[in-house]
Amino acid sequence: MHQPSLTGEARRTLLLSAPIILGELSQMALHVIDTAMIGALGYRQLAAGALVLAVINIPFVLGIGMTISVSQMVSLAHGRYDGQKVSHYLFNGFWLCVITALVITGCLYFGKNIIFHLGQDPEVAQLAVPFLELMNWSIIPMLLFMALKQFADGLEKTRTAMVISLLSMPLNIFLNWLLIFGNWGFPRLELAGAGWGTLITRSLMFLALGLVILRHPVFSRYVKVRKNQWKIRTKTMRELLHIGLPSSLQIGMESSAFAISGILVGTIGATEQAAHQIALSCASFTFMISMGLAQGASIRVSNAFGTRNRVKILAIGKSTFITGIFYGVFCAVTFILLRNVLPNAFNDNDNVKLMAAALLVLAAVFQISDATQVVGANLLRGIKDVTIPTILVAIAYWVIGLPVGYLLAFHFKMGAAGIWIGFIAGLTCSGISLAIRFIRMSRKI
């Protein structure tokens, strides 16, 4: 069998991933811009925003994990040239995501008072409640947008959602400008204004992508067979859940470890929490490129897995690991060089900026491990190996990362820096174990 060129495979993965990366970056840019605009109100408002994101992030990423099952099953069927099955997975996957979104929103709505029982600054918690309510409702349109995006991505039509995501940026910024600060006669809603801006933007994104899929000729063949294929089937739901549940647990355990760490930092003080949020926002922004690269590789691997092409699967995997490592090194160097510059975009409190600069040095250290672990998890998902990787992620974050961070932060009095060293330990273990697992499993295909 012809041995694919690693350079060629890396280039093809990057071409497919580029629109995904731009879409992910645009959404993360919105998050960073929201943080910066909220930070202009004061460090307590910034801490309140960080608290809400820490609380809401865990259930939200569980929902995102469920949407991943759509792209995985669609790309598998697409690799087998089965358009009927593609349409069927679209319909069942969409409704699975509807149910998931409603369950998550309901749980957060009835459990919102937990924000007062996390040991946070009382004023910060009080400021956070209206923002939490609005961000909760925005989960529904965002998860439905993600479900449709995963469908388009699974067909390797990755530019569709990218365009909508890019267009959402100026809209969200404009809405924030109107509603946070009360410009053009609009009420000054401050933190709640950011919540309204997010809710309106996400709703319009979902509606726009839905119209494109229903009306555009590229997707028409999958809509035309709706009478035969748009039916809920238990077997199909089980197939989607087989990928969706472990995927949700994987990214949920990772994100919840970060979220809980943020809550722990908040118990130290509002200054520490604000600095932590600045460093985490920067690290999350760079992570989106690794995530987009990994998603593109996962789609290509899933497509090759549909035809059991072991040689191509290995070539895609190895080339993506190499690309991810080079990118991680670039991010690490950038964070170190700009550690005293980046915090200025978020806050003008000298103590917050000084602490954020120190945390950015630690964030730089785990960039390589972060890129490696997300590539490994997505490649394994592409070959439908999800159970053991979920266990590996659980060990890396909940047996190693979080306990080490807690021990260093509170027992050894290292504060927020101790939490970040725990991040490094967890990410490194996760990256190494998932990379080894992918190489081993791919050779068995």
DSSP letter (8 states) at residue 396: I
The band of 308, judged by pLDDT with boundaries at 50, 70 and 90, is: confident
The candidate with the shortest Cα–Cα distance to 16, out of 321, 314, 303, is 303
Task: Look up residue 413 and give its DSSP letter.
Answer: -
Average pLDDT over residues 299-306: 89
Sorting pLDDT into bands at 50, 70 and 90, what band is 167?
very high
Q: State the pLDDT confidence band at 441, using cuts at 50, 70 and 90.
A: very high
pLDDT of residue 233: 94
As given in the structure block, the two tokens for residue 194 are: 């950011």
Q: Is the pLDDT of residue 118 over 80?
A: no
Confidence of residue 2 (pLDDT cuts 50, 70, 90): low
Q: Does the pLDDT value for residue 72 go beyond 80?
A: yes
DSSP 367-429: HHHHHHHHHHHHHHHHTT--HHHHHHHHIIIIIIIHHHHHIIIIIS--THHHHHHHHHHHHHH
Residue 99: how many CB atoms within 10 A of its CB? 11
Q: Is the pLDDT of residue 71 over 70?
A: yes
User: Is 60 exceeded by the pLDDT of residue 423?
Assistant: yes
What pLDDT shows up at residue 5? 84
DSSP tally for the chain: helices H, then strands E = 17, 0
Within 8 A by CB and 6+ apart from 330, the residues are none
* The predicted structure's pLDDT at residue 1: 53
Instruction: With 0.95 as the threshold, say if the pTM is over it.
Output: no
Q: How far is CA 154 from the centre of its chain?
A: 17
Closest Cα partner for 372 from 309, 437, 422, 313?
Answer: 437
3-state helix, strand, coil in the chain (%, to 5): 85, 0, 15
Predicted confidence at residue 81, as pLDDT, reads 87
Specify the pLDDT at position 435: 93
Give residue 433's pLDDT.
Answer: 94
250 contacts 389 by C-beta, under 8 angstroms: yes
* Residue 269 · residue 44 · CB < 8 Å: no
At 375, the pLDDT band (50, 70, 90 cuts) reads very high
pLDDT at res. 205: 96
pLDDT attached to residue 104:
95
State the average pLDDT for the chain: 90
State how far the Cα of 261 lies from the Cα of 273, in Å rounded to an integer: 10
The confidence band for 197, taking pLDDT boundaries of 50, 70 and 90, is: very high
At which residue do the structure tokens 């555009």 appear? 216
Q: What average pLDDT score do residues 244-265 get?
A: 84
Distances (CA, A) of 73 to 82, 225, 303: 11, 18, 9
Coil, helix or strand at residue 4: coil
| Beta carbons within 8 Å of 303's beta carbon, 6+ residues apart | 75, 76, 78, 79, 156
On the 0-12 / 13-18 / 19+ scale of CB atoms within 10 A, 268 is middle
* Nearest to 151, CA basis, from 204, 203, 233, 83: 83
- Cα distances from 156 to residues 75, 188, 289, 299, in angstroms, run 8, 43, 17, 8
CA-wise closest residue to 419 among 258, 235, 197: 258
Average pLDDT over residues 37-56: 84
The gap from C-alpha 254 to its chain's centroid, in whole angstroms, comes to: 10
**Residue-by-residue DSSP string for 115-166:** GGGSS--HHHHHHHHHHHHHHHHTHHHHHHHHHHHHHHHHTT-THHHHHHHH
pLDDT of residue 306: 81
Q: Which pLDDT score is estimated for 268?
A: 84
On the CB side of 318, CA atoms within 13 Å amount to 16
Model confidence at 438: pLDDT above 60: yes
Whether the pLDDT of residue 241 is over 70: the answer is yes
Rounded to 10 degrees, the C-alpha dihedral 289/284/151/210 comes to -120
| The token pair that represents 188 in the structure block | 């000054």
Q: Whole-angstrom Cα distance, residue 264 to residue 50?
A: 12
Q: Contact 307/383 with Cβ under 8 angstroms? A: no
Position 305, amino acid: F
Burial class for 400, CB neighbours closer than 10 Å (0-12, 13-18, 19+): middle
Residue 302, pLDDT above cutoff 80 = yes
> How far is 352 from 412, CA to CA, in rounded Å?
22
* Distance in Å from the first CA to the final CA of the chain: 14
Can you say how many angstroms the Cα of residue 159 is from the centroid of all Cα atoms in its chain?
A: 18
Tell me the percentage of the chain whose pLDDT exceeds 70.
99
Nearest to 324 by CA among 375, 286, 398, 281: 375
Question: What phi, psi does 298 have (nearest 5°)?
Answer: -65, -40
Give the amino acid at 324. Answer: G
100, two tokens: 């998931």
